[in-house]
Chain A
Amino acid sequence: MSYNFKFDVLLRYIPEIAQGVVLTLQFSVITMVCGLAIGLVVAMASISPLMPLRACARIYVEALRNTPLLVQLFIVFFGLPSIGIRLGANTAALIALSINMGAYGAEILRAGFESVRQSQVEAGRSLGLTAGQTFRHVVLFQAVKTIYPALASQFVLVMLATSVVSSIGATELFHQAAFIDSRTYRSFETYTLITISYLVLTLGFRAFFAGIYWLVFVRRPRR
């Protein structure tokens, strides 16, 4: 039995795929921003001198990192309505993705904070810089340089993870695939093409982030 591949029927759906790419990028950026905001709070809690705060941060990070995103998504989308919280698919997806990213973001940011040696802060202060200046000119740059690669690969991971939210009907690239599939009955071609679109996005962003790293941290004169 031979199968005739017909990728050409998909050409008509290029606008849908392009729209899916844009939606996936929107999901990824919003998730990264909200997730890092949550992560910042959790990371601060995890290095605070107060034991209960540290414990809460630990529980949050471990609970989110040791359960599947898909189950977290189902809890938010299918579970919350039974306690009266009803969310649209896109909202539920963004909440689940952000809460999930928050746990990974917290770990990345904490590693960043801890990577800057205390002696660097002391050096800054002894040069007569204020605490704010020390943070801005000494600590921040080094911390960002340390966590930049982790953040860049996390962005790609988030982008790939957004495909999961199509399962509750949130509209992103993978959701567009289901739409095209239902119109063309060409499942194999559709999912191959969509998966390749992700590959292009991934490789594009990896190159982009590597370029930014080189511009900001490598080529830049020592400061």
Chain B
Amino acid sequence: MIREFGGSDIVYLIEAARWTLLLALTATVGGGLLGIVVAVLRVIPFRPLNWLAIAWINLIQGTPLLGQLFVFFFGLPLVGLSVDAWTAAALSLSIYASAFFGEIWRGSLQSVSQRQWEAGAALGLTYAQRLSHVVLPQAIRISIAPTVGFLVQLVKNTSLTALIGFVELTRASQIISGATFAPLPVYLTAAVIYFVICFSLSQLARMLERRLHVAR
């Protein structure tokens, strides 16, 4: 039965966008925690661990997210873990995000001038005190804007999980498009919803960049 693309479909799309946001949020939390580990491994003065982090970053940033998604989706059941599309999506997006967060935060840490460490030492602070009271507050401020900027990539990339059947905004659009035979308005509506989310994040990142930069 073919029906018209109407208001109820738009409501359905907006509801599906919740899954897009929830997935992006999950990947932000999961990827954030892993990203801290990656950033720390990348900077601590022990070469083999640095190499491990570099290998991780290269592996993740050097392969397509779609490939990672498929490897998880088809691979995990083979080691006995039954995965639904949500688990595969959340895991692979978290791992994907960890490489980028790791690099963003390493950059932020290293962009705090070496003299700040020395100044802390001159004041008689311990390593931990220098890190937590002098360096981290500055690094965190530097990292906020690029971190928010990366969230745009993350939201956009959740669309790929449609291809393993996870019902988020893009998959919902495919479903409605199949029912209404009106792909153009359906996908344009989806694009508008993505745009509203991502543009808000981009503007937020830009605003933070300007504000935190001026404040320095």
A residues at B contact (CB < 8 Å): 1, 3, 62-63, 65-72, 74-75, 78-83, 156, 160-161, 163-164, 166-167, 174, 177, 187-188, 191-192, 194-196, 198-199, 202-203, 206
Contacts and interface: CB of A to CB of B under 8 A. Distances in A.
Contacts of A166: 66
A69 B156 contact: yes
Contacts of B170: 68, 70-71, 74
A78 B177 contact: yes
Nearest to B174: A74
Contact of A174 (B62, B66, B183, B202): B66
The 3 residue pairs across chains A and B that have the minimum distance between CB atoms: A195-B67, A79-B184, A202-B62
A199 B170 CA distance: 27
A66 to B, nearest CB: 4
Interface string B143-177: 00000000010001101101100000010011001
B67 A203 contact: no
B51 interface: no
B160 A164 contact: yes
Interface stretch (B100-108, B128-136, B191-199): B191-199
B70 A191 contact: yes
Interface string B31-51: 000000000000000000000
A198 B71 contact: no
Contacts of A161: 64
B68 A195 contact: yes
Nearest to A198: B63
Contacts of B159: 68-71
A156 B187 CA distance: 27
Interface of B: 58-59, 61-68, 70-71, 74-75, 78-80, 152, 156-157, 159-160, 162-163, 170, 173-174, 177, 182-184, 187-188, 190-191, 194-195, 198-199, 202
Contacts, number: 121
B184 A80 contact: yes
Contact of A70 (B63, B75, B162): B162
- Interface centre among A71, A187, A195, by most chain B C-beta atoms within 10 angstroms, is A71
A62 B74 CA distance: 35
Nearest to A196: B63
A79 B199 contact: no
A203 B68 contact: no
B75 A188 contact: yes
B78 A203 contact: no
30 contacts: A3-B79, A63-B195, A65-B202, A66-B156, A66-B195, A66-B198, A66-B202, A68-B160, A68-B170, A69-B156, A69-B159, A70-B170, A71-B170, A74-B173, A74-B183, A74-B187, A82-B183, A167-B163, A187-B70, A188-B71, A188-B74, A188-B75, A191-B71, A192-B75, A195-B63, A195-B68, A195-B70, A198-B62, A202-B61, A202-B62
A195 B188 contact: no
A7 to B, nearest CB: 13
B63 A1 contact: no
Contacts of B184: 75, 78-80, 82-83
A150 B182 CA distance: 39
Contacts of B173: 71, 74
B80 A187 contact: no
B163 A68 contact: no
B198 A174 contact: no
A38 B6 CA distance: 35
